[in-house]
Amino acid sequence: MNTPRKLAAGNWKMNGFRADLQEARNLASDFADPSVDIVLCPPATLVGAMAAALVGSGVRVGGQDCHVKPAGAHTGDISAAMLADAGARYVIVGHSERRADHGETSAIVAQKATAAQSAGLVAIICVGETEAERDAGKTLEVVIQQLVASLPETAQASNTVVAYEPVWAIGTGRTPTRDQIAQVHDSLRDHLPDGAISLLYGGSVKPSNAAEIFAIPNVDGALVGGASLKADDFSAIIAALAQA
């Protein structure tokens, strides 16, 4: 059986200007480990420039969202085909910030993932519970429901990555315990159609906790926010993943 690839993905969110492309170049020159796939997802304005800056480096570029359609009258939106055309290889879909800020349902996320796959991109599909849902004992129910409804039938390891990001752990410095992450990842793994789909953990991953998180079974990598903005920090996280 194929095993999942190790993957470190950086989500720059709404951060980054052309001057910050140097961080991406630094990361690329810092790190080249064939055992780890590395992706940086800058804001859409930088996708093309970053892809050009990283040609030949082994560090790939991703978008943070895409429209469900390949083209058309959708002012302000960007299609998966356009991201691919700009040099992206991945796109994040269903991040909790988009689910919350833009009312994206799992049904929409599944359409976006399908659009990504049709354009030849790998869809990084995000799921995660809020603090209230965890406190109510509903974590597994919520994340599995999100996964099943967000995952297109076409999902396989070559076109899909799944990221578990507890909403309450994003940007807060708080992380779930080892057992809490293990429980969710084991359950997600059981519901994936292809055992080689990479399963990422996201939420306050930093150099100081990366090794501990990567030692958890069924954690194949991380989706990193704040710590991906600095090449030194992201490199340290990638190094921990390479050694896991």
226 touches ligand 13P by CB under 6 A: yes
171 touches ligand 13P by CB under 6 A: yes
State both tokens at 44: 């859409």
Catalytic choice (97, 104, 165, 185): 165
Tell me if 224 sits within 8 A of 205, measured CB to CB: yes
Closest to ligand 13P by CB, 109 vs 224, is: 224
CB atoms within 10 A of CB 85: 13
State both tokens at 230: 């600095």
Closest to ligand 13P by CB, 160 vs 204, is: 204
Minimum distance from CB of 75 to ligand 13P (Å)? 26
170 touches ligand 13P by CB under 6 A: yes
The amino acid occupying position 82 is: M
44-103 binders of ligand 13P (CB under 6 A)? 95
**Beta-carbon contacts of residue 208 (< 8 Å; ≥ 6 apart):** none
Catalytic choice (95, 97, 104, 129): 95
Pick one of 111, 164, 225, 236: the residue that binds ligand 13P (CB under 6 A).
Answer: 225
Tell me if 229 sits within 8 A of 20, measured CB to CB: yes
Closest to ligand 13P by CB, 116 vs 223, is: 223
**Beta-carbon contacts of residue 63 (< 8 Å; ≥ 6 apart):** 41, 44, 47, 78, 80, 83, 88, 90, 91, 92, 121
Minimum distance from CB of 83 to ligand 13P (Å)? 17
Residues 200, 161: Cα–Cα separation, whole Å:
8
Q: Which stretch binds ligand 13P (CB under 6 A): 77-85, 112-120, 163-171, 210-218?
A: 163-171
Closest to ligand 13P by CB, 81 vs 165, is: 165
* Residues linked to residue 41 through DSSP beta bridges, in sequence order: 11
Tell me if 93 sits within 8 A of 81, measured CB to CB: no
Instruction: For residue 165, indicate whether it is catalytic.
Output: yes
Instruction: Summarize as ranges the residues that interact with ligand 13P (CB under 6 A).
Output: 11, 95, 165, 170-171, 202-205, 223-227
**Residues identified as active-site:** 95, 165
